[in-house]
Structure 1
Amino acid sequence: MIRFVLPLLVTLTLALPARAEVEIQEVQTPGGLTAWLVEEHSIPFTALEIWFRGGTSLDRPGKRGAVNLMTATLEEGAGDMDALAFTRAKEMLAASFGYDVSDDTLTVSAKFLTENRGKAIALLRESLVNPRFAQDAVDRVRGQVASIIRSDEKDPNDIAGRAFESQAFPDHPYGTDSNGTLDSLNGLTRQDMLDAHADTMARDRIYIGAVGDITPEELATLLDDLLGDLPETGAPLPADIEPALTGGTTVVPYDTPQSVALFGHSGVARESDDFFPAYLLNTILGGGGFESRLMTEVREKRGLTYGVYSYIVDKDNADLWMGQVQTANNRVAEAIEVVKQQWADIAANGVTEEELTAAKKYMTGAYPLRFDGNGPIANIITGMQIEGMPLDYPATRNDKVDAVTLEQVNDVARRYLRPDDLRFVVVGQPEGLSSTN
């Protein structure tokens, strides 16, 4: 999924709303770190994003949930400060820190005032380099995660997600819940937190974005101070995997008046030349709100659901083309048939020039609206790096969308949409449906 002389300035001065207007500098620190920076000195604060590739997929065997628990405990005290002292110190600086983790990425988000920058970074550094992982804090957060696991066990959407992922990735961390199970969670120790920290938070997998009241030279010094003492390397990253999905239906019985159906098959990689045609195709199929084919056919014409969607899932090690619909138990079989019909119709017959024009307008119009504030921009430019996008991507992205032809979209439809390969996982008490294969 994102990746010269300090500083290199690329000025993107095309006007909104056609393109996003940002000025991105690539900053190389003396310590060897690379960051992207958008200077914005009108307001005296900075947003900083630090992403580590790997995420919960780096859980060690038998330690499922360790990276998630470790990440959630980072703010529960650091250095000589317990959880309460750390929170008070952060509040006194009017700084905010956020720690999150997904299958592929551990993210650290920070916002701080210019006048408090040095102290805020020193405090953040303690949580990244010298977290306490005190036993009482680990146990407290463990209880919170256990609560989430118990709640998810009763949520049809979460049940469907776990069942689908276990079929798609039976021999990969993607196939199990990143929270772990109650048993695996209860078995985690403080040493497991230290191991998870060393495995995930290393300098060889860092991507950094900063936006705000800071110069390239100041950012370079700040980053070496902040991250220079992290381990040089972390655990090996997982290998790529092809989703092990076959066509058919899996019914998971659950006592609920509505069934949730999650469906999908293998997808398209973000780095593929087919990605933009596929993204436009998905907008037409089920990603364009009320104007999409699925919404028109399943909701508007037949009244089978309030919402039905499709989306492209681009994981570091696998790609999926998925969708979801929720409807009454006695109508879910019909809704699934309509989804299959639309999947098959577009695969065989393609889409129209009018649909493609509307999808382009939707995608190009919405894109610049994402660049709304220091925090969102920092998030975007860090994501651009981890996805391997060039510095000028915000200026060229909509041109890439507009350049896609109807022939390209319909070629992608023929090659990637495979209705016979769709696996439906249905959670509920669906009438007229049973598990197959």
Structure 2
Amino acid sequence: MPTPVDTVLANGLRVIAVRRPSTPMVELRMALPCAGDTHARAAAAEVLVTTLLRDSPDGGEQLHSELARQGISLHASRSARWLDVSGSAPGQALRPLLDALTRALVSSSCGEGGMAQIRMRMQRQISVIRSQPHVIAQEALFAHCYGEVPGLQDVPLAADVARVTVAAVQELHRTVVRPRGAVLVVVGDLDPERAVADVASATAEWEDAGDPPPGPELPALRAGIALVSRPGAVQSQVKLTRHVVPRADDRFPAVSLAALTFGGYFSSRLVTNIREEKGLAYRTDTGFQDHLNRLALAVDADTATDVTAEAFGEIAAELERLVDTPPLPAEIDAAREYTIGMAMLALTSQAGFASSVLTAVTLGHEPERVTRFPQMLRDVTTDEVADAARAFFRPDTFSGVVVGDAERIEPGLRALLGDRLVARRAV
């Protein structure tokens, strides 16, 4: 890990600068807290992201053509918890990149010009996205596990977007786009001290507006498996989840390796069983998701309607086997080398390094976590992985949903789950 310059400016912005001169470029990554507590706020945040980097309130191009000629790019996106900005530029163009970013941060560029077209285009896009099976299943999972929590919503509702006003976006800009609580990472062919000074100078007019408002609280996880009906569906989506320890917990590296050996990569037990050997799943995966302030272990599978119950039974059986027969040293070593290799591969480019540092920091770690975590994985023992499997992988501790043609899949699921199949609802 190159020694970073990590400081908080007078306006509250945290800046992390790292020298990685592999190419004569600089990469910029920024995150601003953006968790909301209403569907209207999620919709306004989506419009805010779309208009954040426009040239003018009247609907100009997203990027100044002058910046494009200098090889500078800027892009904005959002998740349920963060508003993200990414950018890149030749090393000598860092200051123009920062100046362009600051113009977007200081004042809203959302105006009446083009707003109707923006809303119409976004509604069409959202309708397509929200019709995708994996999006339907994810929202069904949140609804079953937590009830109505708009702060978990990655994709807003089209009807809510249609009601977004310019005034709502401008107000959200004032409350969300503030320096305190935001993180800016700059990586590349640069002098870190000079880069921080450039950031401080460029963002001097971005004034401290106080701490960002607290995000919504996550309700307790509801138990049981919900059946969500999609009449006529030829595939079913199985999604299981449970809360685990935070990433900062000493047990997390062991939990991570247990998840990998169970179903987190191509040689894992679950993939080998239900995909490669039995052909019961088109896709299956195991990993971690951030549900607001809680970390969740997620097990997903896409199956054909006719084998949904059989696939669910095999997932539950593999979970039970992981508890009763913990991973062998050879399994753990294979998973360990795979994830270390993937982590180190992500750090080889300036863009990957910048993204990894920002992810680590927004998850509550220090920048050095990106290079320290592989060593933490190497230090995990076989017994620690076995303890993690017993503590967090018992099948009856998972909540979840099965989304599919309920008329065809309910009898088999009912026979497997009995009273644990707690609800049947329509999409």
TM over 0.5: yes
CA contact 1:35–1:208 (8 Å) conserved in 2: yes
Cα distance in 1, alignment partners of residues 41 and 217 from structure 2: 21
- Which segments of 5 or more consecutive residues in structure 1 lack a partner in the other structure? 1-11, 13-21
Q: 1:223 to 1:137 in 2, by over 3 A?
A: farther
Which of 166, 174, 178 is 1:190 aligned to?
166
CA contact (8 A) 2:63 2:74 kept: no
CA contact (8 A) 1:68 1:101 kept: yes
Matched, 1:346 2:326: no
2:150 maps to which of 153, 169, 173: 173
330 and 382 in structure 1: CA distance in 2 versus 1, 3 angstrom threshold:
same
Whole-Å separation in 1 of the counterparts to 2:193 and 2:286: 44
Structure 1's 119 and 390: CA in aligned 2 closer, same or farther, altered over 3 A? closer
- CA gap 1:323/1:89 in 2 versus in 1, 3 angstroms: same
Q: CA-to-partner distance for each residue in 1:367-415, whole Å, 9 max, x for gaps?
A: 2111132211111112222223234334432221011112111111122
Q: Are 1:376 and 2:352 counterparts? A: yes
Q: Mind listing any 5+ residue stretches in structure 2 that lack a counterpart? A: 415-420, 423-427
Given candidates 384, 390, 394, the residue that maps to 1:408 is 384
Taking a change above 3 Å as real, the CA distance of residues 77 and 242 of structure 1, as seen in their structure-2 partners, is same
Which residue among 119, 123, 146 is the counterpart of 1:146? 123
The aligned residue for residue 333 of structure 2 is 357
**Is 1:393 the equivalent of 2:369?**
yes
Is this contact kept in 1: 2:233–2:404, CA < 8 A? Answer: yes
Instruction: Give distance in 2, aligned partners of 1:42 and 1:299.
Output: 40
Question: Residue 212 of structure 1 contacts residue 374 of structure 1 at CA under 8 Å; is this kept in 2?
Answer: yes
- Counting matched residue pairs gives 412
Local SS of the residue matching 1:204: coil
Question: Alignment partner for residue 121 of structure 1, among 82, 94, 98?
Answer: 98
Confirm or deny: 8 A CA contact 1:299 1:306 kept in the other structure: yes
Q: How far does residue 284 in structure 1 lie from its aligned partner after superposition?
A: 0.5
| Corresponding residue number in structure 2 for 1:218 | 194
* Structure 2 counterpart of 1:68: 46
- 1:418 maps to which residue? 394
Residue 337 of structure 1 and its aligned partner are, at CA, apart by 0.5
Change (3 A) 1:344 1:247: farther
Tell me how far apart the structure 2 counterparts of residues 58 and 166 of structure 1 sit (CA, whole Å): 16
Asked if 1:160 corresponds to 2:137, the answer is yes
In the alignment, residue 132 of structure 1 is paired with which amino acid? S
Partner of residue 299, structure 2:
323
Structure-2 residue corresponding to 1:34: 14
* Identity among equivalent pairs (%): 20
Report the counterpart of residue 241 of structure 2 in structure 1.
264
Task: From the superposition, tell whether residues 411 and 337 of structure 1 become closer, same or farther in structure 2 (CA, over 3 Å).
Answer: same
Counterpart for residue 9 of structure 1: none
User: Contact 1:165 / 1:174 at 8 angstroms: preserved in 2?
Assistant: no
Distance 1:127 1:256 in 2: 44
**Contact (CA 8 Å) 2:53, 2:62: kept in 1 or not?**
no
Is the 1:27–1:216 Cα contact (8 Å) retained in structure 2?
Answer: no
What is the TM-score of this pair, normalised by structure 1? Answer: 0.86
Alpha carbons 2:357, 2:370 under 8 Å: kept:
no
Give the drift of 1:43: 3.6
User: Is the CA contact (8 Å cut-off) linking 1:270 and 1:314 kept in structure 2?
Assistant: no
Bigger mean CA deviation after superposition, 89-98 or 382-391? 382-391
Residue 200 of structure 1: aligned partner: 176
Higher mean alpha-carbon deviation, 317-326 vs 415-424, is at: 415-424
Please list the CA deviations of residues 277-304 of structure 1 after superposition, one character each: whole Å capped at 9, or x if unmatched: 1100000011022x11111111222111
Which of 231-240 and 107-116 deviates more?
231-240
Matched residue type, 2:284: V
- In structure 2, the residue corresponding to 1:388 is in which secondary structure? coil
Residues 179, 140 of structure 1: CA spacing in aligned structure 2 closer, same or farther, 3 A cutoff?
farther
Q: Aligned in 2, Cα 1:242/1:311: closer, same or farther, shift over 3 Å? A: farther
SS of the residue aligned with 1:107? Answer: strand
Counterparts of 2:51 and 2:133 in 1: how far apart (Å)?
Answer: 28
Instruction: Name the CA distance, whole Å, in 2 between partners of 1:63 and 1:31.
Output: 25
Higher mean alpha-carbon deviation, 380-389 vs 277-286, is at 380-389
Q: Distance between the aligned counterparts of 1:87 and 1:426, measured in 2? A: 47
Work out the CA distance in 1 between the residues paired with 2:171 and 2:183. Answer: 21
For each residue in 1:121-145, what CA deviation from the matched residue of structure 2 results, as whole angstroms up to 9, or x when unmatched?
2222212212320223333322222
Deviations 1:107-159 (A, max 9, x none): 11111223433333222221221232022333332222211221134221111
**Structure 2: distance between partners of 1:113 and 1:165:** 42
AA aligned opposite 2:229: V
Matched residue SS, 1:313: strand
1:25 equivalent in alignment to 2:2: no
Please say if residues 265 and 320 of structure 1, whose CA atoms lie closer than 8 Å, have aligned partners that are also in contact. yes
RMSD of aligned residue pairs (Cα, Å): 2.4
Cα distance in 1 between the residues matched to 2:208 and 2:112: 23
Structure 2 distance, partners of 1:174, 1:152, is 18
Single out whichever of 141-150 and 115-124 deviates more from structure 2.
Answer: 115-124
The corresponding residue for 2:24 is 44
